[in-house]
Amino acid sequence: MPVTSNVHQFATDSQSIHAPDLPLLPKDAPIHFELAAAHEGELQAFFEANPAYFLAVLGAPAGPQAAYDEIHGDLPAGWSYTKKWLIGYRDPANGQLVAFASLVSDLLADTVWHIGLFVVATELHGSGLAASIFGCIEAWAKSHGARWLRLGVVAGNQRAERFWVRQGFAQVRVREGVEMGERSNSVRVMVKPLAEQDLRDYLKLVPRDDPARD
């Protein structure tokens, strides 16, 4: 994940936008910005150039609507939330996207933030950038009221499973038979507390994640 700038702010091209800044990334890290509809082509090109996630999860490369769906797609009906965040990370040396993250604040319950998608350029796997970006996302979410981080990882996607365990996430339940592209997957719902809290407290907030209710 080679990048060479310590300029870190939400920006669209040369124009800043009105949104809370993410915490500063480490020196020599990418510029990060909030994606909008105008970035659909850029995001689609990034997805197509980095198919590893899509092959592991969907069984096929990203489809032609992948970026459109990510930017414009709605959450499931009836799911409460505050905002869907789409964050891109560019290499300032060449302006290319090197990572993308989507988050949803207050999903299903106040203080629960959900990581929907986190993709780092394949050539940068193992460089440490993914962990650096995640650490800044975690700190930013916590500073804006998050007490829990939640995500789903496909069982068998071993790189992703290992990564999220290293970041402190623990499984709360497994959802079987989740249709994703050409595959029916088992999805591990994982949670990380951002304070001294018991997972039982989380399950009271989000009972749909309680395996005892199956």
Reported confidence tier of residue 5, pLDDT bands at 50, 70, 90: very low
Q: SS3 string of 164-200?
A: HHHCCCEEEEEEEEEEECCEEEEEEEEEEECCCCCHH
- List Cβ neighbours of 62 (8 Å cut-off, separation of 6 or more): 44, 47, 48, 51, 54
What is the per-residue pLDDT across 78-113, written as a single tens digit (0 to 9) for each? 999 999 999 999 887 788 899 999 999 999 999 999
The H or E element spanning position 70 is helix 66-72
Cα 22 from Cα 104, distance rounded (Å): 15
E strand map for 54-111: 83-90, 97-105
Query: Does the pLDDT at position 73 exceed 70?
Result: yes
Of residues 91 and 205, more confidence is placed in 205
What is the per-residue pLDDT across 132-170, written as a single tens digit (0 to 9) for each? 899 989 989 998 999 999 999 999 999 999 999 999 999
- Torsion angles phi and psi, residue 98, rounded to 5: -120, -10
What is the per-residue pLDDT across 164-204, written as a single tens digit (0 to 9) for each? 999 999 999 999 999 998 889 999 999 999 988 889 999 99
Query: Does the pLDDT at position 1 exceed 50?
Result: no
Reported confidence tier of residue 7, pLDDT bands at 50, 70, 90: very low
Query: Does the pLDDT at position 4 exceed 70?
Result: no
Amino acid symbol at 151: L
In the chain, the domains with their CATH numbers are 11-213 (3.40.630.30)
What is the per-residue pLDDT across 9-59, written as a single tens digit (0 to 9) for each? 223 332 232 334 554 455 555 677 889 999 999 999 999 999 999 999 999
CB neighbours (10 Å) of residue 188?
22
The H or E element spanning position 68 is helix 66-72
Q: What pLDDT, on a 0 to 100 scale, did the predictor assign at position 30?
A: 60
Please state the pTM of the whole predicted model: 0.85
Tell which residue, 114, 77, 74, 75, has the closest CA to residue 206.
114
Tell which residue, 135, 35, 150, 152, has the closest CA to residue 84.
35
**For residue 89, what is the DSSP state?**
E
